[in-house]
């Protein structure tokens, strides 16, 4: 058949047949040639519809997962993205794409390194392994990209009865995770290698991981993202946007705040664990937060804007003793009369905004103690109180040179 098929239903049926041919052993090259003969370019929406219909007709999603990379290879250069909707900075898809660009930069670096190894243009195999380890450390950040995709984007697609492609893609995500995990496991065990061994590691472990990451980026950019933009509403994108911070971002952060245009947004209260204390950059349980304060190698005391002592950390070895009797007490009454005027001066200058910090250092019971005061302010600059930090800095004064090897401090 040489005529161009315009009817969408016929096009999808032909695409389904070609996908089944791949499953039955027809080569990628032959399938791509047939695509050119039948359809020229394939709208991304029809790729999704073909997969959905094949699953509905009984083709196991596991089998589609098994041949998924063959589908992608056959369709490369044949998917029509001309109808793809543009997105603004900060939109969830814009952020996904920024992350993909950062991931591609890492996979390109790994490919370049492989070529250097093949050509013998390396100075030290151990140095190369160190570089590879750093690059795969970056690739592990892909977990946050996948979690947002799987737990947010897929959830909203399912509300529109799009279930087949997300199931298949989730399976491919897990394959990528497995490849990266295998690479990291190898890198933990190997500290040096010959050039021939490095080539083997690339061929058997590192390159499959790189290829899997790149393949998923292709599937997202050419099928998943355009389809999602066609299907989801502005309200749904806003809900994805408001929940994304909770999971986090891969290698980069959103470039701008985002609100959908020409859409009446219903405020969505993000579901969260009421047992956690939420801050702008993360959350803790009260037990975790107290553990963090008490594990710090210095003492903290917080005085609120009305000069009342509201909190002190309680590590194993405090420099100046504190007890709960001081809570709620005016900070001026917690100091000797001869130093109250200094306290008053610091608080006054912090409140007026003239100063933001004050530091003293003294010899005390065999220690060289730093006592620092910091003005605590809101994002708008409003004075909220003062934080006092005390630390024995004598051990720090003796530090020289560098320490790059793992050395535990005495317990």
**H, E, C per residue of the chain:** CCCCCCCHHHHHHHHHHHHHHHHCCCCHHHHHHHHHHHCCCEEHHHHHHHHHHHHHCCCCHHHHHHCHHHHHHHHCCCEECCCCCCCCCCCHHHHHHHHHHHHHHHHHHHHHHHHHHHHCCCCCHHHHHHHHHHHHHHHCCHHHHHHHHHHHHHHHHHHCCCCHHHHHHHHHHHHHHHHHHHHHHHHHHCCCCCHHHHHHHHHHHHHHHHHHHHHHHHHHHHHHHHHHHHHCCHHHHHHHHHHHHHHCCCCCCCCCCCCCCCCCCCCCCCCCCCCCEEECCEEECHHHHHHHHHHCCCEEEEEECCCEEEEECCCCCCCCCCCHHHCCCEHHHHCCHHHHHHHHHHHHHHHHCCCCEEEEEEEECCEEEEEEEEEEECCCCCEEEEEEEEEECHHHHCCCCCCCCCCCCCC
Q: What's this model's pTM, rounded to 2 decimal places?
A: 0.62
- pLDDT average, residue stretch 360-375: 93
**CATH topology assigned to domain 287-397:** Beta-Lactamase (3.30.450)
CA distance 219 to 169: 8
Q: What is the pLDDT of residues 295-340, one digit of tens each?
A: 888 899 999 999 999 999 887 778 888 788 888 888 888 877 888 8
Q: What is the pLDDT of residues 12-45, one digit of tens each?
A: 676 667 667 666 666 766 655 665 555 556 665 6
CA distances from 131 to 24, 128, 135, 172, 248 (A): 42, 5, 6, 26, 25
Q: What is the pLDDT of residues 229-263, one digit of tens each?
A: 989 999 999 999 999 998 999 999 887 889 888 66
Q: What is the pLDDT of residues 40-68, one digit of tens each?
A: 566 656 666 666 666 677 666 666 655 56
Which CATH number is associated with domain 92-247? 1.20.120.520
Domain ranges of the chain: 8-80, 92-247, 287-397
């Amino acid at each position: 058949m040489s005529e161009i098929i315009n009817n969408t239903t016929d096009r999808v049926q032909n695409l389904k047949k070609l996908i089944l041919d791949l499953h039955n052993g027809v080569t990628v090259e032959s399938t791509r040639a047939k695509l050119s003969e039948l359809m020229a370019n394939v709208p991304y929406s029809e790729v999704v519809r073909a997969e959905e219909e094949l699953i509905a007709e009984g083709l196991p999603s596991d089998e589609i997962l098994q041949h998924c990379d063959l589908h992608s290879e056959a369709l490369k250069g044949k998917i029509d993205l001309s109808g793809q909707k543009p997105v603004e900075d900060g939109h969830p898809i814009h952020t996904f794409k920024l992350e993909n660009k950062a991931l591609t930069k890492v996979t390109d670096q790994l490919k370049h390194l492989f070529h250097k190894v093949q050509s013998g243009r390396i100075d030290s195999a151990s140095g190369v392994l160190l570089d590879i380890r750093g690059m795969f450390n970056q690739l592990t950040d892909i977990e946050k990209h996948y979690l947002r995709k799987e737990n947010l984007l897929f959830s909203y697609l399912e509300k529109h009865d799009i279930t087949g492609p997300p199931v298949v893609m989730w399976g491919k995500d897990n394959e990528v995770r497995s490849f990266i995990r295998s690479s990291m496991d190898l890198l933990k065990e190997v500290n040096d290698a010959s050039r021939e061994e490095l080539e083997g590691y690339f061929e058997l472990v590192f390159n499959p991981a790189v290829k899997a990451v790149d393949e998923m980026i292709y599937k997202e950019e050419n099928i998943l993202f355009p389809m999602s933009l066609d299907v989801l509403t502005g309200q749904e994108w806003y809900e994805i946007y408001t929940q994304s911070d909770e999971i986090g971002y891969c290698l980069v952060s959103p470039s701008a705040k985002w609100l959908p245009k020409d859409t009446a947004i219903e405020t969505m209260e993000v579901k969260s664990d009421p047992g956690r204390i939420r801050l702008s950059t993360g959350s803790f349980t009260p037990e975790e937060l107290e553990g963090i304060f008490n594990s710090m190698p210095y003492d903290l005391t917080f005085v609120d804007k009305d000069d009342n002592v509201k909190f002190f950390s309680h590590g194993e070895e405090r420099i100046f003793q504190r007890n709960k009797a001081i809570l709620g007490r005016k900070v001026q009454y917690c100091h000797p009369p001869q130093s109250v005027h200094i306290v008053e001066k610091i608080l006054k200058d912090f409140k007026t905004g003239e100063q933001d910090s004050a530091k003293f250092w003294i010899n005390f019971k065999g220690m060289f103690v730093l006592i620092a005061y910091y003005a605590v302010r809101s994002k708008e600059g409003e004075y909220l109180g003062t934080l006092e930090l005390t630390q024995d800095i004598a051990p720090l004064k003796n530090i020289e040179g560098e320490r790059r090897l793992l050395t535990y401090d005495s317990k």
